[in-house]
Amino acid sequence: MLRWVMEEIQASAALELRLVVTGAHLSPEFGMTVSEIESDGFAIDQRVEMLLSADTPTAIAKSIGLGMIGFADALAAIRPDILLVLGDRYEILAAVTAALAARIPVAHVHGGETTQGAIDEAIRHSVTKMSQLHFVAAQAYRNRVIQLGEEPSRVFCVGGLGIDGIRKATLLNRATLEDSLGIRFLDRNLLVTFHPVTLETRTAESQMDELLTALANLQDTAIVFTMPNADTDGRALLEKIKVFCGRHANAHWFSSLGHARYLSCLAQVDAVVGNSSSGLTEAPTFKIATINIGDRQLGRLRAQSVIDCSPTCESIADALASAYSPSFQARLSSVVNPYGDGGAASAIVKTLERCVGETTLKKAFHDLPFQNTFA
């Protein structure tokens, strides 16, 4: 999602891009996608290894610690004027904490959002409080960042970065995509991404079982799985997906589709199924349905193309039936993506050109008008 911001920074006469790569980008298990970054023409200045070969809560906490150590060294070597980060994952928490200690200003993209079912919720708001500049995807999210005490003049509503990727990417046509993936699409097609709900204990595997049971009953449907994040219990879900695909010839899994193939799949499938943020932030631009399962994305803005359901086989099956119903299909053409229509990358870089070097670390807490509820 940061690719187009990075390209705009490279093209800027006022800015110089320095790049730190970490987390799953450096993991063969998750597709070693650092190679895609390099193939897009970006020079990598520092690599921060932080993932352990485990996905327990203890391993995740230790990974954060390793990330803080690695980012401390990386930032000391680069000495940036500002650190630009996106999102809410624990890798970003490590980077921003190291920047705070190093007295490096932070610009945060996609703050103010809520995902009540994941630890990302607390991480996102923590990163907001450690950041000096804020680039948000919608006015409701700008309001929330201000509610967290941030100065309104430092909070910029630019839209969702994922939309820039859709508008600027060169998508593969159906035949080329099929050849690239080694699969064939059928009369109906689904893209499935399901992550652990990290604020729940021991629910990931049972919820995945419910999802797979619902998918097993589908006829004439090609199912493309992308892998879960490097989160607690993610590896157990991966193994279940592998077994399912081994038993169903119409199902296929990929450790990483890559950005172009992922977006190309969105252009070819009927619906996105699972609990990934992409189903809410990107899929509506393609005028396709999103089956959003469970509480992981609870609180995010939703387009009318999103169908929320419980993590049970029956509820998922009902949601899929609704998505294919004539009445629902008829309204997809008029869906508006609440995350905008593109242009976020340019807006971010223009603001950075104006603010880098002038952004102070000290900031006052912006209080909202007080209402005395005890009167």
DSSP state of 31: T
pLDDT of residue 370: 72
Shared domain check, 322 and 177? yes
The answer as to whether 363 is a domain residue is: no
Residue 48 lies in a domain: yes
Is residue 164 situated within a structural domain?
A: no
- One domain, residues 125 and 244: no
> Domain count of the chain?
2
Residue 233 sits at φ, ψ, to 5 deg, of 75, 10
Rounded Cα–Cα distance for residues 109 and 88 (Å): 9
| Same domain as 123, residue 178 | no
Query: Is residue 110 domain-resident?
Result: yes
Residues 323 and 248 in one domain: yes
Answer yes or no: is pLDDT of 373 > 90: no
CB of 114 closer than 8 Å to CB of 121: yes
**Interval 177-220: pLDDT, tens:** 999 999 999 999 999 999 887 666 667 889 999 999 999 989 89
Among residues 54, 203, 35, which one has the least CA distance to residue 118?
Answer: 203
What distance in Å separates the CA atoms of residue 123 and residue 103, rounded to the nearest whole number? 19
Q: Report CA-CA distances (Å) from 11 to 15, 41, 42, 105.
A: 8, 13, 12, 22
pLDDT of residue 356: 87
Considering the domain architecture, whether residues 139 and 193 belong to the same structural domain is answered as no
Tell me the mean pLDDT in the region 295-300: 88
Residues 97 and 152 in one domain: yes
pLDDT at 4 (0 to 100): 93
Is residue 120's pLDDT more than 60? yes
- Residue 234 belongs to a domain: yes
Q: Are residues 236 and 97 in the same domain?
A: no
Report which of residues 52 and 312 the model is more confident about: 312
| CA distance linking residue 96 with residue 88, whole number of Å | 11
What's the whole-model pTM score? 0.85
The pLDDT mean for the chain works out to 92
| DSSP, residue by residue, 51-118 | --S--SHHHHHHHHHHHHHHHHHHHHHH--S-EEEES--HHHHHHHHHHHHTT--EEEES-S---TTS
- Phi/psi region, residue 327 (left: phi>0; alpha: psi -120 to 50; beta: rest), is alpha
pLDDT at 375 over 60: no
pLDDT score at 232: 67
Q: Return the percentage of the chain with pLDDT > 70, whole number.
A: 96
> What pLDDT was estimated at residue 371?
64
As a whole number, mean pLDDT of residues 77-99 equals 96
Q: What type of residue is 36?
A: E
Residues 143 and 185 in one domain: no
Give CA–CA dist 54/128, Å, rounded.
28
Question: 101-105, 167-171, 350-354: which range is least confident on average?
Answer: 167-171
Tokens of 40: 């897009």
* pLDDT 10s digits, 34-49: 998 999 999 999 999 9
- In a shared domain, residues 122 and 251: no
Q: Considering the domain boundaries, does residue 14 fall inside one?
A: yes
Asked if 251 and 304 sit in the same domain, the reply is yes
- Does residue 375 sit within a domain? no
DSSP H helices, the chain, are 3-11, 34-39, 57-78, 90-101, 120-129, 139-147, 161-168, 174-181, 204-216, 234-247, 259-268, 278-281, 313-323, 326-331, 344-355
Rounded Cα gap, residues 230 and 56, in angstroms: 10
Count of C-beta atoms within a 10 Å radius of residue 68 = 18
Q: What is the pLDDT of residue 190?
A: 98
Is 262 strand, coil or helix? Answer: helix
**Start-to-end CA span in the chain (Å):** 48
Give tens-digit pLDDT for 219-267. Answer: 899 999 998 876 666 778 889 999 999 999 999 999 888 888 999 999 9
- Sign of the alpha-carbon torsion through 30, 35, 37, 40: negative
Task: Give the mean pLDDT of 15-21.
Answer: 97
> Phi then psi for 289, rounded to 5 degrees?
-80, 155
Gap between the Cα atoms of 328 and 112, Å rounded: 30
Looking at residue 344, its pLDDT comes to 96
Residue 231: per-residue pLDDT: 67
By residue range, what is the domain housing residue 319?
Answer: 172-334
135 shares its domain with 190: no
For residue 319, what is the domain's CATH number? 3.40.50.2000
Q: What is the mean pLDDT of residues 294-307?
A: 92
116 and 12 both lie in a single domain: yes
Q: Is residue 93 part of a domain?
A: yes
Confidence of residue 24 (pLDDT cuts 50, 70, 90): confident
Mean pLDDT calculated for residue range 156-163: 95
What is the chain's length?
375
